[in-house]
Structure 1
Amino acid sequence: MSLTAVRAGAYLHHVAFESADPRALAEFYADAMDMTVEQVGPEEWRCSGPARRFVAKKGEGRKLGYAGLACRDAEGLAELRARAEAEGLVILASPSPYFEDDAFAVQSPDGHVICFGLAKPETAQAGLKGPTQHLTFATFDVEAFQDFFHGKLGFALSDRVVHKDGKLATCFVRSNHEHHTLACFKSNRQGVDHHSYEAGDWNVIRDWCDRFAARRIPLMWGPGRHGPGNNLFIFIEDPDGNWIEVSAELEVVHDRPVKDWPQEPRTLNLWGKAIMRS
């Protein structure tokens, strides 16, 4: 099976979330996640920091507006679009303001809008290290997620978590050298489980924790280390209840078989407490 998304070098460039109070949500991200904030319309705010971007727009709380994955070059983007068309996917106009005009979007089986494009040039910004890194969904059907992103768009499978009955609990897929760009957990709801920013190393996670502590933002989970991906992590929660992960030392995958992990607490956190989704 052709790994079209991997050849395109796609990476998570930005996310947009709907909110009943997008101004308050954007102001939280600007303050907590060390970003500037700009109102760009009566009901939309954009936040930006070094290699991270977040959009808050009016709508239903805890709902993904869209996710933007940037491709390495025009050839990779064109190949990815051709793959989507060949698989019979409906090609949508991209709603992303961060991509050039040749961007496009598709809709996942759970209704999430995923945009692919070439990133517009941006001015470098100062601040804590933490590029936008990955997005993880909650779903009723992990197999449909795997079939869509791996089978139809050519993301590579990295790892899976499997229940004792053989059904998938979690699936991790990548579109570049990092362990996962997207993932999903089997859940009793559909939506976003969390989105993540990559700190790079343990000392930068410490700096993020100090920033959160200064703002009296408690850690809701962590520090810990995941099994799949082997990354260090902490989690906080935004005012709408969306989970934010700050991660470090995520596994770099060059070439190895897919690993199936058991559905148990130590898979989610090798160090102790786990938040089990199913």
Structure 2
Amino acid sequence: MSTLQKKTPARLFYLHMGSKAPQRQTDFYQRVLDMQCEPQPDGSVVLKGPGRTVLISPADNHGLLAAAFRLTSQQDQNDLRQRLEQKGCPTQDTISPLMQAGSFSIRDPQGRETIFGVARDTHEANLPGLPGRLQHVVFQTTELEAMVNFYVNTVGFTISDNVVDQESGQLMVCFLRSDDEHHSLAFFRGSQNEWDHHCYETCEWNDIRDWGDRFAKEHISIFFGPGRHGPGNNLFFMVVDPDKNRLEFSAELETKAADQAPGEWPQCERTLNAWGRAWIRK
């Protein structure tokens, strides 16, 4: 089977957020996340920090408009688009201030937009600031099996770990990878369809400490963590931005070989946080 990891590795590159208060969001990401602002002609702003980029646009509602994945070459971009179209997945040309010509987007069965392309600029990793590379994005969904089927069998993500309710046998969470890292995308079963959180991968435990101190100075409380996830084995904590979007800061996320079989975990607090209490989605 042709997977992203084997054929056209993809890494989460930027998130396009909509905001009813874009200046407030821009101020937060500049001040707290060490991101530099580049205003765009359409009123949007690009914000760049070391290894992390977001695009913020004025919108009627807060939330995620699209997640963009970076491919390594124009050839990979063309190959992936051809594979998707052969599987009956419509693709749409996309013009992005952050992607080279030829980038394209798809929509999943619930309407989420994902962009694939080659980055215009690959120097954001050298920008000053605390380390924290944009690494994964997570959603809650009422149709978990359908989402997993689409992203695995159509797009080419690989399942790293499943979380299963031990009484019913029902799948509750699925972690998906698009390169060697444990997951760049995940879905939780929930009572509504919404953006769950996004994550910045740091280098080590001391970076988690430094980010915690940064948020403490801003009087922003941690709402989940610090702790260690079972799937991925990463250290983490979570906070929220002014629009109440959830941000995770992580360290030591594990990697997976291309042919490594999916793991299975029980649905319980210790799976989501080996150190203690967990945030269980409803």
Q: TM-score range by the shorter chain?
A: over 0.9
What are the Cα deviations for residues 158-198 of structure 1, in whole angstroms up to 9, with x where unaligned? 00111232222111110101000100111111121000000
Aligned mates of 1:41, 1:34 — CA distance in 2: 23
Task: Look up the SS of the partner of 2:274 in the other structure.
Answer: coil
Question: For 1:92-103, what aligned pairs fall within 5 Å after superposition?
Answer: 92-103=92-103
Q: What corresponds to 1:152 in structure 2?
A: 154
Identity over aligned residues, as a percent?
38
What are the Cα deviations for residues 129-149 of structure 1, in whole angstroms up to 9, with x where unaligned? 111100001111111111111
1:243 aligns with one of 238, 243, 246: 246
The alpha carbon displacement at 1:6 in A equals 4.3
Residues 131, 198 of structure 1: 8 Å contact kept = yes
2:218 aligns with one of 215, 220, 234: 215
Q: What corresponds to 1:274 in structure 2?
A: 278
Aligned mates of 1:73, 1:42 — CA distance in 2: 28
Aligned mates of 2:208, 2:60 — CA distance in 1: 31
Q: What corresponds to 1:3 in structure 2?
A: 3
Could you state the TM-score of these two structures normalised by the residue count of structure 2?
0.94
The alpha carbon displacement at 1:111 in A equals 1.0
**For structure 1, which segment, 32-41 or 85-94, has the greater mean C-alpha deviation from structure 2 after superposition?**
32-41
The alpha carbon displacement at 1:77 in A equals 1.6
Instruction: Write the letter of the residue equivalent to 1:83.
Output: R
Aligned mates of 1:62, 1:232 — CA distance in 2: 28
Question: For 1:60-209, what aligned pairs fall within 5 Å after superposition?
Answer: 60-123=60-123, 124-163=126-165, 164-209=167-212
The alpha carbon displacement at 1:115 in A equals 0.3
Aligned mates of 1:129, 1:5 — CA distance in 2: 25
The alpha carbon displacement at 1:4 in A equals 3.5
RMSD of aligned alpha carbons: 1.4
Aligned mates of 2:95, 2:74 — CA distance in 1: 18
Question: For 1:6-17, what aligned pairs fall within 5 Å after superposition?
Answer: 6-17=6-17
Task: Look up the SS of the partner of 1:120 in the other structure.
Answer: coil
Q: What corresponds to 2:19 in structure 1?
A: 19
Aligned mates of 2:6, 2:246 — CA distance in 1: 27
Aligned length: 278
Task: Look up the SS of the partner of 1:200 in the other structure.
Answer: coil
Q: What corresponds to 1:37 in structure 2?
A: 37
Gapped regions of structure 1 (runs ≥ 5): none
Aligned mates of 1:79, 1:122 — CA distance in 2: 21
Task: Look up the SS of the partner of 2:23 in the other structure.
Answer: helix
Aligned mates of 1:264, 1:134 — CA distance in 2: 22
Task: Look up the SS of the partner of 2:202 in the other structure.
Answer: strand
Task: Look up the SS of the partner of 2:13 in the other structure.
Answer: strand
The alpha carbon displacement at 1:271 in A equals 0.5
The alpha carbon displacement at 1:53 in A equals 0.5
Aligned mates of 1:208, 1:109 — CA distance in 2: 36
Residues 68, 96 of structure 1: 8 Å contact kept = no
The alpha carbon displacement at 1:7 in A equals 2.3
Aligned mates of 2:222, 2:100 — CA distance in 1: 37
Residues 5, 80 of structure 1: 8 Å contact kept = no
Q: What corresponds to 1:262 in structure 2?
A: 266
Instruction: Write the letter of the residue equivalent to 1:125.
Output: L
Could you state the TM-score of these two structures normalised by the residue count of structure 1?
0.96
Residues 157, 258 of structure 1: 8 Å contact kept = yes
Q: What corresponds to 2:234 in structure 1?
A: 231
Residues 196, 244 of structure 1: 8 Å contact kept = yes
The alpha carbon displacement at 1:38 in A equals 2.9
